[in-house]
Amino acid sequence: MLTNEQRAHDLTMFALNNALRPEAVAALAKDTGETSITVNVEETYMNTYKSALEMFNRNFPAGK
C-alpha cells in the first residue's frame, strides 16, 4: 500500500512532467511574450509536493 508521501510524490512528478512538456513551455512563452522560460524545478517540486501531501493527509488521515 502507498503512503501519503508516496502518493504526493507520484502526483507531483505527474504534474511536473505535464507542465514541463516542450509544447506546454512553448505555449507559456508565447502567452507571456517571453523568448525563454526559466523554471526552478526544486522549488516547484517542493511547493507542489507540500500541497499534494496536505491534500492527501486531509483526505486520507490514516494514510489509507
Identify the residue with better confidence: 49 or 1. 49
Could you give the dihedral angle defined by the CA atoms of residues 37, 42, 47 and 53, in that order, rounded to the nearest 10 degrees?
140
Q: Residue 1: its pLDDT value, please?
A: 82
The verdict on residue 64 lying in a domain is no
Domain limits at 38?
4-59
Is a pLDDT exceeding 80 seen at residue 63? no
Whether residue 20 is contained in a domain is answered as yes
Q: Which residue in the block uniquely carries the three cell numbers 489509507?
A: 64
Q: Which residue has the higher pLDDT, 62 or 41?
A: 41
- What is the number of domains present in the chain? 1
Confidence (pLDDT) at 31: 85
Residue 15 near residue 47 (C-beta atoms within 8 A): no
Which pLDDT value is given to residue 59?
93
| Arithmetic mean of pLDDT, 1-12 | 94
The pLDDT, as a whole number, for residue 34 is: 81
Of the candidates 7, 1, 3, 2, the one whose C-alpha atom is nearest the C-alpha of residue 48 is: 7
